Chains A and B, each alone.
Chain A
Amino acid sequence: MVRLKDRYLLVNIIYSDVPAGQQSKGASAGAVPDLLVYNQPTTGELRPQLLLKSIRAEVAALFGDCGAGAIDRSLQVKYLSTATSTFILRISRSHYRLVWAALSFMHHVPVRNGRPCIFRVVRVSGTIRKVEEEAVRRAKLLILAAKREMAGKSSGALDALLRGKDDARNLTMVVDPDDDSEPENGSAMNDG
């Protein structure tokens, strides 16, 4: 039996429409750190089926019947957490770029009167275990960074980015080249 290889995408939902009242300069009492303003929880109306439907519609709009048929069998929402605004998608290895491109073109949460948001793919991996570990690690780092910002030690996201190579690499995206247990030989079917 030939192995069917998949890719798992870890996606964050980032909110860019910050209401005017919440923008705060400095860490005054009761102010929410910027990191937490961008990574807010999502509305509870978002269900896996709604998310799937909107991704499928976007792939069909961008890539037509050919693209819609290519991802139809293997696209699945493996995990969705509205509290952390994170979800994990499973997609076949040869067509994960179609889904990634469709996510880039989606600009609001797929519910009724959804807020404008950005779907940011932060990890691509061949096994779901690595993706889960990455989700846990990012959640921990986010808490630490938010605490640091609350305590006033860092002056913002730019400082966190430039602080040091360890911290900067921790929160940027990493694509695992080969997360499968056996090496891939040859190239998979490319999308046209």
Chain B
Amino acid sequence: MTPPGATPAAQTSSHEEEKQPENEDITMGNTTTATTTTTTTTTKPNNSNKPKKGRELMTCTIRAPPFAYAQLAVVSDTSSSTTDDLDALQVRAYCTSALRQFLGDTGAGMAVDILSVTGSSCWVRVPRADLGAFAAALTAFGGVSSTNSGGGGAKAAMLVLQVRACGDWLGSLIGRAEQGALWTS
């Protein structure tokens, strides 16, 4: 988010950073804040005689961030069973088995960092070039069967991993997750 008094050059850099050619954020559409910024750029006349309110110190355009981020959630296919809370070891086990099944040894060697685990969802980080393969591997994952402690003889529910969000910029992903929680809670 740029301050109001920023010059057009700095706003151009934020406009570029929203328009990633290959890895666009997949969940719900563009944030309104970003589009407002770009329309301001195009309609403001570039009048160099007017004294500028702010002074641009540095412009930086990040074209290729090193990592991509994803939010995963464990869901059960039957509505009755309650999913236990996740922990980091379970996330690591699920991810490794999904990647190994889909991509073999090279997949099992992919560098996946688990950033945080809360409730039944977690945030992970992968190298940017591997995001497509990682998301495909988790989508193709058949799931694991959960062990139901109560009700002898009840059939085990399948727990599958769901990719809630994935993209290059962690801040906007978290913002969208919180934004979605506003409407659903």
A interface residues (Cβ-Cβ under 8 A, vs B) = 60-67, 192
Contact = CB atoms under 8 A, between A and B. Distances in A.
Nearest to B103: A64
Given A65-B140, A66-B136, A60 B130 contact: no
Question: When A and B form their complex, which 8 residue pairs have the shortest distance between CB atoms, in order from nearest?
Answer: A64-B104, A192-B133, A64-B103, A63-B104, A64-B102, A62-B104, A62-B105, A65-B102
Nearest to A105: B105
B105 A66 contact: no
A66 B135 CA distance: 13
Contacts of B100: 64
B184 to A, nearest CB: 33
A25 B6 CA distance: 80
A101 to B, nearest CB: 9
B101 interface: yes
A61 B136 contact: no
A192 B106 CA distance: 10
Given A62-B106, A66-B102, A67-B104, 4 more contacts: A60-B104, A66-B136, A192-B103, A192-B133
B143 interface: no
Contacts of A63: 103-107
16 contacts: A60-B104, A61-B104, A62-B104, A63-B103, A63-B107, A64-B101, A64-B106, A65-B101, A65-B103, A65-B140, A66-B103, A66-B133, A67-B103, A192-B103, A192-B132, A192-B133
Contacts of A60: 104
Contact of A64 (B107, B129, B130, B132): B107
A34 to B, nearest CB: 34
B141 to A, nearest CB: 11
Contacts of A61: 104-105
A61 to B, nearest CB: 6
A20 B17 CA distance: 65
Nearest to A101: B106
Interface in B79-110: 99-107
A5 B137 CA distance: 27
Nearest to B107: A64
Contacts of B137: 66
A67 B137 CA distance: 12
A130 B101 CA distance: 38
Interface string B106-144: 110000000000000000000001101100110010000
A65 B137 CA distance: 10
A61 B49 CA distance: 67
Interface string B36-79: 00000000000000000000000000000000000000000000
Nearest to B108: A64
A105 to B, nearest CB: 9
A141 to B, nearest CB: 36
Q: Which of B100, B104, B105, B130 has the most CB of A within 10 A?
A: B104
Q: Which of B100, B101, B107, B132 has the most CB of A within 10 A?
A: B107
Contacts of A66: 102-104, 107, 133, 136-137
